[in-house]
Amino acid sequence: MNVESSGARWFKSAYSTGAKECVEIAFLDGGVGVRDSKNPTGPALVFAATEWDVFAAAVASGRFDG
């Protein structure tokens, strides 16, 4: 999926610490971008909004908790 991200507003979770070992996300036209906060000019993964919604719901439900 190719989505324009040059004007994106990237942000980290409110639960993120001050360290740079985080991912950042941006809500883009046509999807959600995910990138490594240590490499903001590097590549980003882009997911369809529906894929992101399924992932976020699974995280919120504890599906990935160890």
The residue that leads in pLDDT, 47 or 15, is 47
pLDDT for 30? 81
* Average pLDDT of every residue of the chain: 87
Q: Tokens for 64?
A: 């990935």
Mean pLDDT confidence for 8-33: 85
C-alpha to C-alpha distance for 28 and 16, rounded to whole angstroms: 21
pLDDT at 61 over 90: yes
pLDDT at 1 over 60: no
C-alpha to C-alpha distance for 44 and 63, rounded to whole angstroms: 24
